[in-house]
Amino acid sequence: MNTILDSTQENNIKYFDGSTDLSHKDVLSVSRNLTDICYPNGNEEQKGVCILVDRCSSYIATILAAWKAGLFVVPLNTASPIQKNIEIINKIKPAVVIVDDINEASFDFPTVTKSELFSEQTSKNELTNFRPLRPSDIAYVIFTSGSTGEPKGVVISCESFKSYIDWTARNFSEYSDLKRLLLTSELTFDITMGDIAFALAFGTDIGVAIQNRNIPSILALIMRFEIDILYSVPTTHLTLASFSQQKRGADLSSLRLILSGGDRFPWQLVRDYKKLAPKAAFYNVYGPTEVTINCFSVRLDNRLELSVERASVPIGYCFDSLDHVLLDENSQPATKGELCVTGPQMMLGYHGDAELSESVFVTDTRIECITRKLYRTGDIGYYDNGLVYLEGRVDGLIKIRGYRIHPDEVSKTLDSIEEVDVSAVVNFGKQSDAALKAFIKLKHGSGLTVEDIEKFLREKLPDYMIPVQYELVKDFPLSQSGKIDKNSLAKRL
């Protein structure tokens, strides 16, 4: 059995990126090669693969091939600092790391290049029965920024991912005839898994935007391949819509289904798309990585009247397969409070961190006699006319370009610079234009410049975590408890 791929449209999916086209045949061949490498002695305990290759169609085909071979997947980003990737690889202890170039980095684990893996059937066997992928096996591990600043690996089971595929098949059945979707988000972000789930549900072809930060090139790809599904973070949507309004000859009319997830956005985006892509339905989808991609969704293009009463967009309704509750400060069900979710899409836990895994669940007091766990999203929600809206976080996490980050993680990196005495990083801007500002107090006599500091950060952190403003300060305002008063710093912005 293969929990993820059985009874899906996997055989019909094609993979493209403008230069390399792949099909089911390639996936099958890669699965055989992966089986030779990872399970040389037949069925064994489940193993994992880390994928560290540049964005391309092969990246996605490799994910599908790994599942076919009964492996779990850890997607990595070649644009991230190598140290961060090595840290993750060392934690996962994969059966194999897949890379573009074997000379780029050395790992303590077997490494194979993408071209070796995709070369014409190096495997001698004609295997068609692969290691089974059981419901309780792992589907993927996605690393997100933790509240302590350490990256944490969210472990999602095959059963959970399958539940998400099934929801996709039920919820979007009227879009089953759509042909091509385009991956624009980071491949390490679980929007990618959401796109793959859509393709598995309906046999949709998967395109990969190689330059996902070059929005004009995304527009060109949508036009060239007549893309009909686009699931992106709001910053991509906002920039794409704005550019398409200004660029002569821009045409988004092929779009039939637009999904926005990962952050809030203004109602104006829905209005803009209504003009740019009149045939498209626009959905807002919401969910922490810990609850397998999404757990709430709502169609918005036919609900524009809601914008008259509320400036913010709703996250909508909980999936029919899941259950939710808002808990107040005393952990009691309320009409406003922390959004908690339960059901088959709950993560297995954080990789190698039982304590942290335990801390994000709370006992559901609505039922007695048994202990049912609720996942605490950290988002504060409230109801209005049956729809759920969000209003801030219970912790200090913020979102930049769809990534959850904690400003303290940046400040911790700054503090690791020898000549930095102490630093504080605060967030400014709202919703889709959130950005960071770093306040730094240097050690006496240090000649360090802002340019030096920024260069150091670029070597250590991904670019969405790099502050856009810096200020060297002599002293910090302190709160009554003697800690740096970040509220007071934020007021200076």
Partner 1 sequence: MSLTNKVIEVVSSSLKIDKEKLNEKSGLGDVVKWDSLNHAGLVVDLENHFDVGFGFDELDKIITIEAIVESLEEKGVGA
Rounded to a whole number of angstroms, the minimum distance from the CB of residue 459 to partner 1 is 14
Q: Which of 124, 248, 430, 474 binds partner 1 (CB under 8 A)?
A: 248
> Any contact of residue 211 with partner 1 (CB under 8 A)?
yes
Q: Which of 214, 332, 416, 479 binds partner 1 (CB under 8 A)?
A: 214
From residue 323 to residue 362, what is the string marking binding to partner 1 with x (rule CB under 8 A)? ----------------------------------------
Closest by CA position to 95, among listed 47, 30, 25, 150: 47
Quick one: tokens of 130? 């692969």
Pairing, β 373-384 against β 361-363: antiparallel
Tell me, letter by letter, the H, E, C secondary structure of 235-294.
Answer: HHHHHHHHHHHHCCCCCCCCCCEEEEECCCCCHHHHHHHHHHCCCCEEEEEECCHHHCCC
Measured CA to CA, the distance from residue 488 to residue 493 in angstroms comes to: 9
For partner 1, which is the closer residue by CB, 43 or 214? Answer: 214
Alpha-carbon distance values, 258 to 165, 241, 292, 413 (Å): 17, 12, 19, 37
> Any contact of residue 242 with partner 1 (CB under 8 A)?
yes
Instruction: Calculate the CA 250 to chain-centre distance.
Output: 28
Q: Which of 33, 46, 235, 254 binds partner 1 (CB under 8 A)?
A: 235
Sole residue written with tokens 């997830």: 261
Q: Which of 243, 267, 382, 428 binds partner 1 (CB under 8 A)?
A: 243
> Any contact of residue 19 with partner 1 (CB under 8 A)?
no
Those residues whose C-beta lies under 8 Å from the C-beta of residue 454, and which sit 6 or more positions away, are: 466, 467, 470
For partner 1, which is the closer residue by CB, 79 or 362? Answer: 79
Measured CA to CA, the distance from residue 92 to residue 76 in angstroms comes to: 12
Strands ordered across the beta sheet of 111-113: 111-113, 96-99, 48-52, 72-75, 138-145, 151-157, 349-350
For partner 1, which is the closer residue by CB, 215 or 426? Answer: 215
For partner 1, which is the closer residue by CB, 317 or 456? Answer: 456
Choices 242-250, 339-347, 351-359, 412-420; region in contact with partner 1 by CB under 8 A: 242-250
Choices 112-120, 146-154, 213-221, 294-302; region in contact with partner 1 by CB under 8 A: 213-221
What DSSP character marks residue 109?
S
Q: How many residues bind partner 1 (CB under 8 A)?
A: 28
> Any contact of residue 223 with partner 1 (CB under 8 A)?
yes
Measured CA to CA, the distance from residue 283 to residue 274 in angstroms comes to: 12
Using CB atoms within 10 A of its CB, is residue 84 exposed (0-12), middle (13-18) or buried (19+)? middle
Rounded to a whole number of angstroms, the minimum distance from the CB of residue 209 to partner 1 is 9
Rounded to a whole number of angstroms, the minimum distance from the CB of residue 185 to partner 1 is 11
Of 403-462, binders to partner 1 (CB under 8 A) are: 433, 454
In this structure, the dihedral spanned by the alpha carbons of residues 137, 159, 393 and 399, taken in order and rounded to 10 degrees, is 70
For partner 1, which is the closer residue by CB, 235 or 357? Answer: 235
Alpha-carbon distance values, 483 to 96, 479, 480, 488 (Å): 45, 5, 7, 11
Q: Which of 1, 82, 468, 490 binds partner 1 (CB under 8 A)?
A: 468
For partner 1, which is the closer residue by CB, 210 or 327? Answer: 210
Q: Which of 42, 249, 392, 445 binds partner 1 (CB under 8 A)?
A: 249
Alpha-carbon distance values, 24 to 13, 58, 205 (Å): 7, 12, 11
Q: Which of 41, 246, 385, 481 binds partner 1 (CB under 8 A)?
A: 246
Choices 99-107, 220-228, 303-311, 334-342; region in contact with partner 1 by CB under 8 A: 220-228
Rounded to a whole number of angstroms, the minimum distance from the CB of residue 116 to partner 1 is 28
Rounded to a whole number of angstroms, the minimum distance from the CB of residue 220 to partner 1 is 4
Using CB atoms within 10 A of its CB, is residue 434 exposed (0-12), middle (13-18) or buried (19+)? middle
DSSP string over 34-102: HHHHH-TTSS-S--EEEEE--SSHHHHHHHHHHHHTT-EEEE--TTS-HHHHHHHHHHH--SEEEES-T
Quick one: tokens of 337? 């409070």
For partner 1, which is the closer residue by CB, 19 or 480? Answer: 19
For partner 1, which is the closer residue by CB, 242 or 335? Answer: 242
> Any contact of residue 219 with partner 1 (CB under 8 A)?
yes
> Any contact of residue 247 with partner 1 (CB under 8 A)?
yes
Measured CA to CA, the distance from residue 258 to residue 491 in angstroms comes to: 37
> Any contact of residue 215 with partner 1 (CB under 8 A)?
yes
Q: Which of 182, 240, 417, 425 binds partner 1 (CB under 8 A)?
A: 240
Is 461 within 8 Å of 481 (Cβ atoms)? Answer: no
For partner 1, which is the closer residue by CB, 103 or 246? Answer: 246
Rounded to a whole number of angstroms, the minimum distance from the CB of residue 50 to partner 1 is 24
> Any contact of residue 41 with partner 1 (CB under 8 A)?
no
For 374-394, b where at least 16 C-beta lie within 10 A, e where not — what string? bbbbbbbbeeeeebbbbeebe
From residue 368 to residue 407, what is the string marking binding to partner 1 with x (rule CB under 8 A)? ---------------------------------x------
List interacting residues with partner 1 (CB under 8 A).
210-217, 219-220, 223-224, 235-236, 239-240, 242-243, 246-249, 401, 433, 454, 463, 466, 468
